[in-house]
Amino acid sequence: MDSPGPEPDRVPLQRQLTAEYMRMAGGRSNVHGLVEVDVTDARERIRTIEAETGTALSFTAFVVSCLAAAVAERPRVNRYHDWRGRVHQFEDVDVNVLVERAGNGERVGVPHVVRAADRRSVRSIHHEIRRVQSDTSPPDAARFAGLTRRLPGVVRRQMWRLPQLFPTRWKRLAGTVAVTSVGMFGTRNGWAISPTNYTLQLTVGGIGTRPRLIDGELRSREFLSLTVTFDHDVVDGAEAARFVERLGERLEAGAGLDGVSAE
């Protein structure tokens, strides 16, 4: 009789929670827009700031700042519908951003909410992201996973219905819009598409170089791949298009980077 093999590994709870989140978010009316934005001037400005200050400015902080400012200008994308058909539109733009930090011998992305990001400077957001990256205490997501360890899956999955049931509680727990980045884990450009529980989510891809015609001359430019995901039950196509246009303008112009060296 064969001896029993080794006990199979269990799927980590954090992975189970991610799978449950994706399953529940997949039931929303998500619409994805794939866009490219010329960030050559913004990245050059960031390199200049690093040369002047000796500190590398977080590109994620710049993206979060541009996103929050664009949302503040187009507040209809900062709203949720609850189960009673009521509209909740929030004034503050609380951005849930995926921050890369060390954990268990590897670097992983953990969620962190930057509160009132629309009223924060790029430098302020940069410092907050760096603080979270250097924090060695268990992330909030790990503490949340521990609290839910004993709950059955059917109960855990209902937690991801908070945006539809109680939007204000969802805001306190997870913010109002989200930024996630696949670009932090690689160097190639490209897009990623995933369901989300947010009315608006920005997925940041990689940066690639290609020519662009400027003033009749072909020049090598750096293009950022972005996936902008909306809940179409909340945001119509025209409003989404106007928001994406404004976000692209802010990113291309390097909005918020002027005066950063002096802060």
Span of 142-146, 151-155, 177-181, 224-228 with lowest mean pLDDT: 142-146
Query: What pLDDT, in 10s, does the model give residues 187-199?
Result: 556 788 877 889 9
112, pLDDT greater than 80:
yes
Please report, to the nearest 10 degrees, the dihedral formed by the alpha carbons of residues 11, 14, 19, 21 taken in order.
Answer: 160
Provide the mean pLDDT of the chain.
83
Instruction: Report pLDDT for 142.
Output: 52
The highest-level CATH class for domain 13-257 is alpha beta
Tokens of 62: 């710049």
36, pLDDT greater than 90:
yes
pTM for this prediction: 0.83
Question: For 11, phi and psi rounded to 5 degrees?
Answer: -65, 125
Residues 6+ apart with CB under 8 A from 120: 65, 68, 114
Task: Give mean pLDDT, residues 40-56.
Answer: 94
Strands 200-214 and 177-181, bridge-based pairing: parallel
pLDDT band at 51 (very low <50, low <70, confident <90, very high): very high
150, pLDDT greater than 80:
no
The residues spanned by each domain of the chain are: 13-257
Residues 6+ apart with CB under 8 A from 38: 212, 221, 222, 223, 224, 252
